[in-house]
Structure 1
C-alpha cells in the first residue's frame, strides 16, 4: 500500500491541485512526514487510531473537520478507509481478498467488506487499481459504475539498477548460493494468497530432473507463512530454496537483473506490482490466471491456466530452456511496463477529483 500512496503523492500536485497528507496515528505519524515529497504538505495532528476507528466503526460521527480543519475539497483514503467528512470522499479499494478468502486474512482486515458496503451505500467515490476489481465491486457490492474509477498503479521510473547501492555482502550471498545456477525468483510477502506452497510442488518436480536451478524468495514472512516453511522442509532438496526475507529496493532490482524468471502463482490479486517491476527490468514472467494478474500482465507474460502442478512445470521449463521464448517475453514485458507510470496515474486521479467536484457543485 505504501508503494501506491507515495508513488501517487509525488505526482499529484500541479497548478490546479494542492495536496496535504495526514496519518490517523498518535505516535507514528512522523514516519509519514519524513517520507513525504517536498511538494506535499503535512498535517501534524495527533489522531489516536484505535479510539477513532472504534467511533467510526459504529457511525459516521466526529467528522474529520473537527480534527484537522475544514480546508479540503476532497479527502482520499489510500487503504480501504476514509473518515467521515463534509468534503467529497474517495477511498482506494486494492482488492477483495477478505471477501473471497477470509480464512487468509488477519482479523483487522476482515472489517474491510463492511467498510466497502457502507461507502457504496453512501455514494463515496471508490478508486480501484484495475478494471477487474472495479467489476467485482459492481457485481458483489452493487456499486454504481459512475462512482467507481479504475486507475492503474504506476511503477518507479528509475528502472535502471544502481549497483553501488547493493552491498557486496548481499551479492556474495546470492552468488555463493546460486553458484552459477539459474535463479527462479518470487517477490512478495509469504502468505497463503500468494500460492507459493502449491508452486513448491512444481519446483520440487523440476528439481528431481535437473540440478541447474534454484528458487529464491524475496519477501517477509507474513501471516500464515508456516505451511510454506513446512512444505519447503519436505522437498527432495530443501537447500534449493533460499528465503531472503525483506529486501531493499536496490536489492530487489538487482535480483530482477540476476534472475532467469519471475514466478507469480498468486491465487488472487487486485493488481500485482512485482509482475510489472520484473518486466521493466527485462525479466520474463510466468504468472497465474487469477484475479487481476492477467489484466496487469496484458499478454506480456507466460500465463498458466489453473493450478495444476504439471502446467507450472511445463511453463517454467519452457521459459528456462527456450531462449526465443525468453526474448519474446523480455520485449513484450518492456513495452507493457512502460505504460504504467505514476505521472499517468496522477493525471487520471486529478481528473477524477475534479469531475467529482463538478458533480457536487
Structure 2
C-alpha cells in the first residue's frame, strides 16, 4: 500500500478564530477536505495564536508546524527566506496558499494563484505591500512545480505576466463554503418585509460599488422601500462607495453589515431579490458562486472570472452602465415569479471536489517522480 503524501499546507495567515473570508476561508476549507482524504497526511503551518485552532483540523499539535512569535508584518519574509531550513525534508508537498513559497524548500512545491491583482492593479494595495511582496510573489510563481489557479481567467492573467508558468498551471475552481451551506439562516430584523438587493465584498475600488449605489439611487425613485445591503469585511485599504452612498445610508435605503456570521449571510442570499456583482476584476468571484448555489438571482459585470463562474445562469452587464444596473434591479423587484433564478443543471461543487482536483493536479505534475 502506498503511504499517504506528507502535505504541509501553509496557513500562517489564518487568525486564531479560524474565521475570515477570502484566502483564509479557502485555506481552512481546503485543510478540512485534504484531512478527509486517505492518501494525504496533512500538516499545517500556523501562527502561535492559531496553532490550537488549526490542531483541531488535523487531530493534534504533532501535525502543526508553528511559526515563531514575530510581528505580523514580518511573517511573509520569514516564510519566504527562513522557513525552508526549519522544514528540512520532512514533507513531500509544501503548498503555499497566499502568494509565497519557502525559497529552497526540499519538497514538491505547490502555489495557489487566487488572482494577479498585485500586478494587474497595484494601486489597490498599500505601498509597503506593493514594494515588499510583488517580487517574492513572482519568484514564488516561477519556483512552484504546480500552480493551482482558481479560474481559467486567473490562469490567463498568470500567463500574461509569467508565460512559462502557464504550462505548470491547473485550473481548480472553488466551491461554496461548507459552513455557509450548512448554517442555520439568521434573519436580519432591519430587512423584515422590505425588498432588498445584495452586494457581498469589500469596498475596494475594484469592487465597483459606486456604480451599484448610483443605480440604487435611481431604483428608490420607483421603490422607496427598497434596500441595498452591502455585506463585507472591515476596510483593509482604500475604499470607494460613491457620492450617492451617504444619502442612501441616511435614508435607510442602504444597510452595511460588517463581519456577519454564516447564518446571516445565508439568509441574505436566500431572501435577496437579486445579488449584484459589479466588480472590475476578480480572480474567481466566490459571491457569484455562493449566490447561485443558494438560489439567488444574479447580475454580474463582464469580468471574465465572474462570467466563467456564472455562465448563462446570470445576467451580465457593462461595469459602468449605471442605468443598465438600475433596470436589472427593477426587473428583479417585480413579483418573484417573474425573476426566478435558473435551475442548477450540474451537481453542486464541494470542497472535497476542490481537494480531489488539487491532489490530481499535483500528482499529474510528477509528485514522487
**Do these two structures clear the TM 0.5 threshold for a shared fold by scoring above it?**
yes
SS in structure 2 of the partner of residue 298 of structure 1: helix
Aligned length: 341
Superposition map of 1:218-237 within 5 A: 218-224=231-237, 227-228=240-241, 231-235=244-248
SS in structure 2 of the partner of residue 180 of structure 1: coil
Q: Which deviates the most, 6-15 or 262-271? A: 6-15
CA separation of 1:4 and 1:56: change in aligned 2, threshold 3 A:
closer
SS in structure 2 of the partner of residue 317 of structure 1: helix
Does the Cα contact within 8 Å between 2:205 and 2:239 map onto a contact in 1? no
Q: Which residue of 2 aligns with 1:83?
A: 102
Does the Cα contact within 8 Å between 1:217 and 1:244 map onto a contact in 2? yes
Q: Which residue of 2 aligns with 1:103?
A: 123
CA separation of 1:40 and 1:289: change in aligned 2, threshold 3 A:
farther
Which of residues 171, 196, 211 in structure 2 aligns to 1:150? Answer: 171
Q: Which residue of 2 aligns with 1:114?
A: 135
Give the CA RMSD over aligned residues.
2.7
Does the Cα contact within 8 Å between 2:146 and 2:361 map onto a contact in 1? no
Q: Which residue of 2 aligns with 1:348?
A: 357
Does the Cα contact within 8 Å between 2:200 and 2:232 map onto a contact in 1? yes
The normalised TM-score by structure 1 is 0.84
Q: 2:324 matched to 1:311?
A: yes
CA separation of 1:40 and 1:250: change in aligned 2, threshold 3 A:
farther
Superposition map of 1:1-361 within 5 A: 1-13=23-35, 14-23=37-46, 25=47, 27-30=48-51, 32-33=53-54, 36=57, 38=59, 42-47=63-68, 48=70, 50-51=73-74, 53-54=76-77, 62=82, 64=84, 66-84=85-103, 85-110=105-130, 111-122=132-143, 124-157=145-178, 159=181, 161-163=183-185, 166=186, 171=187, 174-175=188-189, 177-224=190-237, 227-228=240-241, 231-235=244-248, 238-321=251-334, 323=336, 325-327=338-340, 329-331=341-343, 334-335=344-345, 338-358=347-367, 361=369
Task: Return the offset for 1:199.
Answer: 1.1
Q: How many Å separate the matches in 1 of 2:128 and 2:338?
A: 43
Q: How many Å separate the matches in 1 of 2:240 and 2:144?
A: 41
Task: Return the offset for 1:267.
Answer: 1.2
Task: Return the offset for 1:72.
Answer: 0.6
Q: Which deviates the most, 237-246 or 79-88? A: 237-246
The normalised TM-score by structure 2 is 0.83
Structure 1 runs not aligned, ≥5 long: none
Structure 2 runs not aligned, ≥5 long: 1-22
